[in-house]
Amino acid sequence: MLGKLIKYDIRSTWRDFSGVYMSILLGVLILPPLFNHFNNALVNTVAGFIATAIVIATIVVVVVTIFKIFNTNVFSKQGYLTMTLPVTSSQVVLSKLLVSTMWIVLTGIVSIIGMLIFILNMNTTPLAEISAAFQKLLSVIDSRGVLAIILMVVAMIVSAASAPSGS
């Protein structure tokens, strides 16, 4: 039954997040042609700050949307109907937590892809430097690094789930 809960949670929330992901990708695709006409370090820095601000704002919007969806799906009339399903309340909360985690991870992936697209379209950094920096990053993240990243994500989820709710 948990699988069905997850499926329906994804179905009910994908529209909220698809627009957010499109805003990241459109922002990083529209900005480089606007700023490539100027060969100025200050203009390129401003463009980088704008692209970073788009990604950060999108991450904030995703987190706020996740809280709004959780509040609506658990504490409103829809939540009342959800709690009448033949599942335990812990399964409902676990389903919401897993789907929210999926959206947060997907937001991170889309943000990284967006920033890579932005960097490649700005044509200010040679591709050799970008690939060297990426190779250095991959050498730092070996098998233990992947485990550390997984543990950090789990720690963030647990701390967010165990944080006292303010009202």
Note whether 86 and 102 are same-domain residues.
yes
Note whether 162 and 83 are same-domain residues.
no
Note whether 25 and 69 are same-domain residues.
yes
Tell me the average pLDDT across 129-155: 71
Note whether 85 and 110 are same-domain residues.
yes
Per-residue pLDDT of 81-96, as tens digits, reads 777 778 887 888 888 8
Note whether 144 and 110 are same-domain residues.
no
Residue 150's domain spans which residues? 127-167
For 86-120, b where at least 16 C-beta lie within 10 A, e where not — what string?
A: ebeeeebebbbbbbbbebbeebeebbeebbebbbe
Note whether 107 and 141 are same-domain residues.
no
Note whether 73 and 54 are same-domain residues.
yes
Structurally, the chain folds into a number of domains equal to 2
Q: Is 166 helix (H, G, I), strand (E, B) or coil?
A: coil
Interacting residues of 16 by C-beta distance below 8 A, sequence separation 6+: 65, 69
**Quick one: what percent of the chain has pLDDT higher than 90?**
0
Note whether 102 and 136 are same-domain residues.
no
Note whether 104 and 167 are same-domain residues.
no
Q: Is 165 helix (H, G, I), strand (E, B) or coil?
A: coil
**Quick one: what percent of the chain has pLDDT higher than 70?**
83
Note whether 109 and 156 are same-domain residues.
no
pLDDT score, position 121: 76
pLDDT score, position 21: 84
Note whether 115 and 135 are same-domain residues.
no
